[in-house]
Amino acid sequence: MSDVEELRARLAQVLDPELGAPITELGMVGEVTLREGVATIAVALTTAGCPLRHQIERDVREAARSLDAVHRVDVLYEVMSPDRRASLLQRARTLAQNRAPATTIPTGSPVLMVGSGKGGVGKSSIAANLAVALARTGRTVGVLDADVWGFSLTRLLGVNGEIEVRDAKMRPLVAPVGAGEIRLLSMGLLADEERALLWRGLMVQKAVAQFIEDADWSGVDYLIIDTPPGTGDIAMTLARLLPRMGLLLVTTPHHAAQRVAARSADFARKSSIRVLGVIENMSALTCQCGERHPLFGQGGGRLLADEIGVPLVASIPLRPDISEGGDRGRPVALDEDDGVFADLARRVIDDLAPPPGAVGCTARLLDALARAVEPAQPPASS
């Protein structure tokens, strides 16, 4: 190995402080030369004013000086072009997915993130009712309330109690629902509902990571994750820990909410999260006379779905009983066999995220073809 090759190998030990990946793998190291003991290293930064520039330079210098042939280090900086910066982000996402930690979530079980661009769109209510509707089909549905600051699923689902720890794993609280069951983990089971959590950054990320890595999710057919609005620390942590997660994006009909939600879809795709579809909540109020009143405007869900190229999977009407059911801890989906949430659950099962063991489209096609060409049986003789 030449001295320059050895120098590049030493630089591969330098990690980007923010992304946690080697700067060589991220394409941040350009030309490297070593002449008469002077190492000249070109480092590309995402922005000219990168706040981590000094830390990166210090680590690069230390790595280069660890080579006996190096007596002086010159670090030259350049700013990445937009295309190169996009390539770096894609590499970072790929590396993060490859390093995703092991969890007890069954490999074939869909993980559905219920998210929104802004608060107040009824995202948690939809997460609770979707979980109940899926459980009523006989499935075991894990529910993670990842909204650490604004936890509400304990109240919405009427599930309370103490979390047990066995074999170093938190055990979600179990609530039977029809032929299935819900298994819930929420900060609401650990914290006082009346007190604010004054947590920031790393504390919040660690809490969410523990709910994923240090919990027993074995045996679930689905994992529904209710997230806080926006694209902050919690969403980014989930994207890193659960690279096969899909997003159900909740919005309300008015266009302001639709524009904010579009940014969440952009974040999801930049984080390699599949956007499964849009759910429009509070679509309209139907009064007792049967007249429909779009109190929050109309068409925002369809516009958002068309803009980001995904289906509009449900339009949830504005109904007082949905809110009342959440206040009582008895979601309306518990008592509806053919309601809007039952329809949403069927859409998830049949199309958006089939559960483990579901028959794929190809198998269904072959089965239908076999039945079509099967010779007719002669009528039984009398």
pLDDT mean by block of 10 residues, the chain; 382 residues:
91 82 89 95 87 86 90 93 83 69 85 89 94 96 90 92 91 95 92 70 83 94 92 81 88 84 84 87 79 75 90 91 92 91 94 72 48 54 45
Asked if residue 16 and residue 133 are part of one domain, the reply reads no
Residue type, 217: W
Which residues does 39 contact at the CB level (< 8 Å), separation at least 6?
Answer: 7, 32, 33, 64, 67, 70, 72, 73, 74
Which residues does 302 contact at the CB level (< 8 Å), separation at least 6?
Answer: 280, 312
Per the structure, the complete domain to which residue 48 belongs is given by: 3-98
Asked if residue 185 and residue 127 are part of one domain, the reply reads yes
CATH number where 275 lies: 3.40.50.300
Q: Is residue 373 part of a domain?
A: no
Boundary of a domain, candidates 58, 75, 98: 98
Asked if residue 140 and residue 55 are part of one domain, the reply reads no
Q: Is residue 214 part of a domain?
A: yes
Confirm if 122 and 249 have CB atoms less than 8 A apart: no
Q: Is residue 255 part of a domain?
A: yes
Asked if residue 84 and residue 228 are part of one domain, the reply reads no
| pLDDT tens, residue by residue, 333-342 | 998 888 999 9
| pLDDT tens, residue by residue, 176-233 | 999 999 999 998 888 776 676 667 777 888 888 899 999 999 999 999 999 988 877 7
Q: Is residue 372 part of a domain?
A: no
φ, ψ of residue 296 to 5 degrees: the values are: -110, 30
Asked if residue 67 and residue 209 are part of one domain, the reply reads no
φ, ψ of residue 339 to 5 degrees: the values are: -85, -175
Q: Is residue 224 part of a domain?
A: yes
Asked if residue 329 and residue 237 are part of one domain, the reply reads yes
Q: Is residue 374 part of a domain?
A: no
pTM: 0.69
